[in-house]
Amino acid sequence: MSSLKELLTQEGLEGSDFSRAQKHSGSKARSRAAPNDSITLPIYICHDKKTTDSSKKKVEKSIMRDGSSLYSSNRLGSISETLLCKSMEAPAIDEIAIRSVVSILSGYVGRYSKDDKFREMVRKICSSCLLRNGGMESGVCSNFEMGMKSVDRLIEERHGNERELRVKASRNSLGFLNMVISSLNSAKKSKNCAQSHLSACAHLYLATVYKIEKNEKVSAKHVLQVFSDSPFFARTHLLPELWEHFFLPHLLHLKVWYNQELEFMSNDRKIKALSKLYNDHMNRGTLKFALYYEQQLNDGAKAPHVPLVPLPSHSIRRASRKSLDSSNNKNLYHAVFGPNLDQQLAEKIASVHDEHHETVKKSDYFRNLDTNHLLSNELCKAIATISSSDILSECEIAIRVVTKAWLDVDGDTTIEVALSTPPFIEGMMEVLLASNDDEILELVISVLAELAARSEAIRLMILNSDPQLQVFLKLLKSSSLFLKASILLYLSKPQAKQMISVEWLPLVLRVLEFGGSLQMLFSVRCAPYEAAFYLLDQLLKGFDEDRNLENGRHLIALGGLSLLLRTLENGEIEERKNAISMISCCIRADGTCRNYLAENLNKAALLELVVHESNKNSDRCGLALLVELLCLSRRTRITKLLDELKERLNGSSIMNILSVDLHRARPEEQPLVATILLQLDLMDDPLNCCSIFREEAIVTIITALNSQISREKTSENLARALLILGGRFSCTGEPCPEIWLLQQAGFEANSGDSSYSSRHVYDELVQLYEEEEDLVNWQLKASTVFFNHGHKSLLSALSTAMTNGIPRLAKASLVTVSWMSRYLFVIRDEKLCSMAPSILVPSLIKYLNYDKDVEDRVLASYSLLNLIKYTECKHIFGLFDEEARDHLENLSLVTWTAKELISIVKSGSMHRYDTEQKNSDTQRSTRM
């Protein structure tokens, strides 16, 4: 029989947090009573008098369901019974939540057009549905088959240039699939399971079409309809990953219940009945939340109430619930925090007690304590009430007593020890979940914040009491207390695995947006944006890579980049670093956001950080972001960015700053600094022979090339620097000069070739004439500087790196030589012009071997052809032995460059290079 921990592991949720199991066997309700007016507290604790007065006038009621109180033995409650009963209190976050839902749902079905394995899986499942519907009207099945084919055709043609073809394919897809839906809906009364499955498949394909057409909201609605039409089929077969991520967090209490029941069953018949009961409830819950989110997406619709999904009423465990609940709670606690934490926690608490009162024992603390001298009788009773009572109104009165005593003695150690027990902390957390009185909630938050700030043990108790962070989710949705609650959460230091709900990102972004002012929780002083950055760090870095990237895309969709840029502009140094760290996560998740950043980022603020970091021996996050911003898909945008950087600080100032930075930087950082310096320098005359900055940058690159064997990190950064200097980038910001070079060489990559299909296709590049002119001019400038300032040293270093460097650097060096070989005519030194082939050809010939990737062999043949044509050095023909010629013969089957090269080598001579082309090249060189 699977244990709870095994179940969590199977579901990928080991260490996740679930509701705390029932602690008391009774069912007493925490009913409300009027606050004790004799207990008054300083007014600064609460927001204003109006809030205090209104809280005292709230209607006293006990919420009952199924014959028991909501605030019964399980005071923390389940996710469906408490937190999900309440919608967001702040209307401002509704639009953010809707965008979040749309982003997640439509983003998931976007896999169909990008992920071959996912597409094949969906096809197989939907095809099997067609087979099971053999008795259905043939027209429905044929329409669905045509719809599937039309969607696949749309995917194949979406990168094409013929807009009419794309529009036609899209209309065909929608037409066929809508006919399927209409036919199935007309037979709704008699619809069987197989037909429901087919309807769900049709809605999935419709969602895919609308996603391709960038109508994300409609796409999301069709995804929800998949789960509405056939919840079990959708969650177990068709879209199980999406269900686990999007729906399961709302229904975890059902899974916990099922696992607990399963542990006490051995009869196969009962297990089968239990499974059916569990699946029925899980299907109903999935359907409820699919309809709930669908209502949310309807324009102008009133915000729907969050649905309730109660536990099944049947249970074989009720007779022994009290004895089992404590052990289950312990299992959950261990799953999140580890098996040894109980012992550590007990030791810390005991050490605190022993330090101040050697005779005190945890089990009989209140009985043995001398209340006349240490704690008043009233305070002892209040602590006992909070620790054990199930009546909410009693606990709220007790909280006033405890808070007043705490403030009167200014956090006396004796009181601190009395409050540092698990029952008291658990009771306080339960009040946070159950109470709706803002005054009481703020008092509890403040007391817990002070205790957590003083004691690691208290921090652990808070997380143990609320491992799934239900309490904090409720408080962060508050319109008045969310900033103070974020500070308590920050002090508790939760981990990413406790924040699996999709609600976390919008809630944390709201804290970041409004969290600039200092918040005071008694003696605790903290700015909420610190909490926001801690939580963002967990959400963007604390999961596995796929989930981290998904959260990054989610943050971008919610508009979080604008908040991060605001912090980068106005924050202090550490705040700017935190903002850049989060921005870097967003760039990794979606490289296209570079364009937005380059347009909206405050360049002066970024340069200030770069300067500051150059004076410190710290991580260079500012420099790293600046490098990322230079990887834009359009050369005109890169030029604009460089111009703006020079404007913020006059040209010579920024060059001097980077020059100093180049000398101070660590060896592995120097190639990237040199890349920025060189690009700024080339904004001026590339023929200028007196540029000190240019010389420094070139020397740095040569030095790094020569020392790359012993410095692996330097090699990685150097490879990236060389590719960046190639000047060509995909829409996602990946350097891709190789793809353009392969097309110039006439090589058409085989789409089935895994080594090539994994790269960004050239279609991602912007194909505008003026952009191409700017790119060519950039490479011409860079080649002029490399040849005439790097001389033989640079060519020798590149040649050595091609054959001896780590694979990434060897490829980058080969690509650099390939695009530089197009501009050999810019070499002004005749001696270097005659030496270049002798330096480069031997290494390039080695790349013709069969053990190299076909793309590398094509680049080598392309470079060799350019070297022969431009330099006209006949003596290099002798370097092509019989083996090299055989390799060229083989390569000539896939590219014209090898065919032309083998013809020249075999004849031992060549035709004069096209005079008109040479004249054009010379004119271009003169215009620089």
Per-residue pLDDT of 149-166, as tens digits, reads 888 888 876 655 455 555
Question: Residue 132: is its pLDDT beyond 50?
Answer: yes
According to the per-residue pLDDT averaged within each range, which of 11-25, 60-74, 444-458, 872-886 is highest? 444-458
Residue type, 802: M
- Of 483, 511, 542, at which residue does a domain stop? 542
When pLDDT is cut at 50, 70 and 90, the band that residue 249 belongs to is: confident
* CATH number of the domain residue 440 falls in: 1.25.10.10
Q: For residues 920-928, give the mean pLDDT.
A: 47
Question: In the prediction, which pLDDT does 223 show?
Answer: 94
Distance between CA 902 and CA 884 in Å, rounded?
9
Residue 253: its pLDDT value, please? 82
- Among the ranges given (131-140, 301-310, 866-875), the one the predictor scored with the smallest mean pLDDT: 131-140
Q: How many angstroms separate the CA atoms of 143 and 136, rounded?
A: 12
Say whether both 398 and 280 belong to one domain: no
For residues 721 and 672, the answer to whether their CB atoms sit within 8 Å is yes
Q: Which residue has the higher pLDDT, 10 or 439?
A: 439
Residues 6+ apart with CB under 8 A from 560: 505, 509, 512, 582, 586
How confident is the model at residue 225, as a pLDDT?
93
Tell me the average pLDDT across 78-87.
34
Between 117 and 767, whose confidence is greater? 117
In a domain, 382, yes or no: yes
In three-state secondary structure terms, 187 is coil
Domain count, the chain: 2
Which of these three, 508, 524, 542, is where a domain ends? 542
Bridge partners, residue 535, by sequence? none
Whole domain around residue 289: which residue ranges?
Answer: 95-297
In the predicted model, is pLDDT for residue 73 greater than 60?
Answer: no
pLDDT for residue 709: 54
178 domain residue, yes or no = yes
Residues 385 and 518 in one domain: yes
Q: Which two tokens stand for residue 584?
A: 């870097």
| pLDDT at position 340 over 50 | no
Question: What per-residue confidence (pLDDT) applies to 332?
Answer: 37
Q: How far apart are CA 277 and CA 248, in angstroms?
A: 17
Q: Output 708 or 666, whichever has higher pLDDT.
A: 666
- Based on the fold, state whether residues 423 and 522 are members of the same structural domain: yes
Taking only the tens place, the pLDDT of each residue in 288-309 is 999 999 988 887 667 788 888 8
Bigger pLDDT: 13 or 108?
108
Using the Cα atoms of residue 228, residue 231, residue 237 and residue 240 in order, give the sign of their dihedral. Answer: positive
Q: Are residues 273 and 379 in the same domain?
A: no
Q: Which of 253, 327, 270, 255 is nearest to 10 (CA)?
A: 255
Is residue 304 in a domain? no
pLDDT given at position 452: 95
Say if 67 falls within a structural domain.
Answer: no
* Bridge-based pairing state of the strands 519-521 and 524-526: antiparallel
DSSP string, 335-366: HHH-TTHHHHHHHHHHHHHHHH-TT--STTHH
Separation between Cα atoms, residue 549 and residue 539, nearest integer Å: 10
d(CA 353, CA 417): 6
**Stronger pLDDT, 356 or 788, i.e. the higher one:** 788
Q: How confident is the model at residue 238 (pLDDT cuts 50, 70, 90)?
A: very high
Higher pLDDT, 901 or 132: 901
Chain position carrying tokens 């099971």? 132
**pLDDT at res. 99:** 80
Contact 226, 203 (CB under 8 A): yes
Q: How far is residue 856's CA from residue 897's CA, in Å, rounded to a whole number?
A: 13
Residue 24 pLDDT greater than 60, yes or no: no
Q: Which residues contact 358 (CB under 8 A, 6 or more apart)?
A: none
Return the higher-pLDDT residue of 439 and 177: 439
Q: For the chain, give the percent of residues with pLDDT over 70.
A: 72
Residues 383 and 270 in one domain: no
Distance of alpha carbon 387 from alpha carbon 402, whole angstroms: 12
pLDDT at 79: 30
Give the integer Cα–Cα distance in Å for 684 and 677: 12
Tell me the C-alpha distance between 182 and 188, whole Å: 10
| CA trace torsion 778, 782, 784, 786 (10° rounding) | -170
Spatial distance between the Cα atoms of 251 and 79, rounded to a whole number of angstroms: 8
- CB-CB contact of 388 with 73 (8 Å): no
Whether 635 shows a pLDDT value over 90: the answer reads no
pLDDT digits (tens, 9 = 90+) for 448-473: 999 999 999 999 999 999 999 999 99
- Predicted confidence at residue 170, as pLDDT, reads 66
Tell me what pLDDT residue 129 has: 84
Question: Residues 272, 143: one domain?
Answer: yes
- Name the more confident of 922 and 383: 383
Q: Would you place residue 367 in the very low, low, confident or very high pLDDT band (cuts 50, 70, 90)?
A: very low
Quick one: 281 and 173 in the same domain? yes
Least confident residue range of 62-71, 481-490, 735-744, 902-911: 62-71
Residue among 320, 276, 455 at smallest CA distance from 22: 320
Considering 542, 573, 607, which residue would you say is the last residue of a domain?
542
What pLDDT is attached to residue 769? 56
Percent of the chain whose predicted confidence (pLDDT) is above 90: 33
With cut-offs at 50, 70 and 90, classify the pLDDT of residue 728.
confident
DSSP bridge partners of 65: 68
The string of pLDDT tens digits covering residues 647-705 is 776 656 788 888 888 888 888 889 999 999 999 988 876 666 667 888 899 999 999 99
Domain assignment of residue 395, yes or no = yes
45-49, 114-118, 772-776: least confidently modelled range: 45-49
Residue 318 has pLDDT above 60, yes or no: no
CB 41 within 8 A of CB 400: yes
User: Minimal CA–CA distance to 646: which of 613, 680, 692?
Assistant: 680
pLDDT, position 235: 93
Q: Tell me whether residue 411 is in a domain.
A: yes
Q: 8 falls in which pLDDT band (50, 70, 90)?
A: very low
Task: Please give the pLDDT value at position 236.
Answer: 92
- Residue 842 within a domain: no
Please compute the mean of the pLDDT values over residues 375-390 and round it to a whole number.
92
Query: Is the per-residue pLDDT at 863 higher than 60?
Result: yes
Q: Are residues 400 and 265 in the same domain?
A: no
In a domain, 706, yes or no: no
Asked whether residue 379 falls in the same domain as residue 238, the answer is no
pLDDT at 447: 95
Binned at pLDDT 50, 70 and 90, residue 62 comes out as very low
The candidate with the shortest Cα–Cα distance to 156, out of 740, 732, 751, 633, is 751
C-alpha 286/C-alpha 250 separation (Å) is: 9
Could you tell me if 516 and 378 lie in one domain? yes
Is 60 exceeded by the pLDDT of residue 711? yes
Q: How confident is the model at residue 470, as a pLDDT?
A: 92
Q: Are residues 129 and 214 in the same domain?
A: yes
Q: Is the pLDDT of residue 900 over 90?
A: no
Q: Amino acid identity, residue 444?
A: V
What pLDDT is stored for residue 265 in this prediction? 77
User: What integer pLDDT is reported at residue 707 of this predicted model?
Assistant: 81
d(CA 817, CA 258): 64
pLDDT for 166 equals: 58
Residue 799 clears pLDDT 90, i.e. is over it:
yes
For 492-538, how does the pLDDT look when each residue is reduced to its tens digit (9 = 90+)?
A: 999 999 998 889 999 999 999 999 888 999 999 999 999 999 999 99
- Mark whether 262 and 401 lie in a shared domain: no
Average pLDDT, the chain: 76
Average pLDDT over residues 772-777: 85
